[in-house]
Each structure stands twice: as C-alpha cells, then as structure tokens.
Amino acid sequence: MVIQEETKRTEEKEEAGYRSPTWSILRALENINKAKRLEGEAIMSAPPSFHSAGRGDLKFWGEDDRPTMVVWESLSKSEQEQRSKKMSKSKDWVVWCRSRKEDEVQRPFEAHGKKIFSNRSKQTKAKAGEKWIRNEAKGSQCAG
C-alpha cells in the first residue's frame, strides 16, 4: 500500500513539473556535507546510501539521524512547515531547492541559513538548484 501511495504521489509531483535530483547529486551532497539523513523524495527514489530517510511523519528506514539533507520541493506544504520548525531549532542541515525568483517570498530556511551554491545564470532565467546550509550566526540573513 505504501508503494502505491508513493507512486501516485510521485506521478502527481512530476505532472506538476517536479524532477528529483539524481542519485549522483544526492550522494555528492551527502558526502560533501556528511549528511546521514535524507528528508524528502519518495521511498523508491531515496538513495540507500543514507543512514536514514523519510519525509514528514513517514519513515522510510533508520533513525532520525543528523546532519540532514532536505530536498525541499519534494515535500508537501505541511511537510515543509514541519521541517521548517525543526530547522529553526538546529544547525545541522542542508537544503537542495530550486532558485527563488526575486519577486517570490523568502522561504523559511533562508532566514536561518546562507546560500553556498546557485547555478542560476544572469543570462538565463531557467529554474536552477540552490543549496543552503545553516548559518552559524543566529539572526543572520541569507546571502542572496
């Protein structure tokens, strides 16, 4: 039953334009950031290299290990709210997300982290990936 629900959810996300990052990208981010937990994606698309994985209240495997790698767009709005509350209380996380357009509202994690990578070009307006990490200095605004 879980696989059917996850498959349906994945199909709906993809119909809306979402594309999962490749396992290569997730493994690279896992290694660079020494992440132990993947938050997001679907049970079928989460790389087994993480010690634990899940999305919201759904645990795919393992315990709630940290540091955490969050795939932001794969989370529902309620899962994003839940994750935002956890991220505001810790500093051992990294977020993989699409670039925010200048006229879009700041996302919650942006107030607690700093941008360390963006592949958005000034020449193109294509949606691109960004990576955010928890900022050590409390109250600091994200670079943008």
pLDDT band (50, 70, 90) for residue 11: very high
Assigned domain for 140 exists = no
Longest dimension (CA), the chain: 46
Assigned domain for 124 exists = yes
Assigned domain for 139 exists = no
pLDDT in tens, 57-71: 999 999 888 899 999
Assigned domain for 30 exists = yes
- Coil, strand or helix: which one is 142? coil
Enumerate helices (H) and strands (E) in the chain, giving the number of each.
3, 7
Q: Please, what is the average pLDDT of the chain?
A: 82
More confident residue, 113 or 48: 48
Assigned domain for 117 exists = yes
On whether the CB atoms of residues 109 and 86 are closer than 8 A, the answer is: no
Assigned domain for 28 exists = yes
pLDDT for res 104: 82
Token pair for 126? 């294509």
Assigned domain for 73 exists = yes
Assigned domain for 49 exists = yes
The Cα 110–Cα 21 span in angstroms is 20
* Domain span holding position 30: 2-101+109-134
The Cα 13–Cα 70 span in angstroms is 16
Token pair for 139? 């109250």
Token pair for 76? 């529902």
Q: What average pLDDT does range 105-130 have in this prediction?
A: 65
In the predicted model, is pLDDT for residue 138 greater than 60?
Answer: no
pLDDT in tens, 27-63: 988 988 899 999 999 999 999 999 999 999 999 999 8
pTM of the predicted structure, to 2 decimals: 0.77
Number of domains forming the structure of the chain: 1
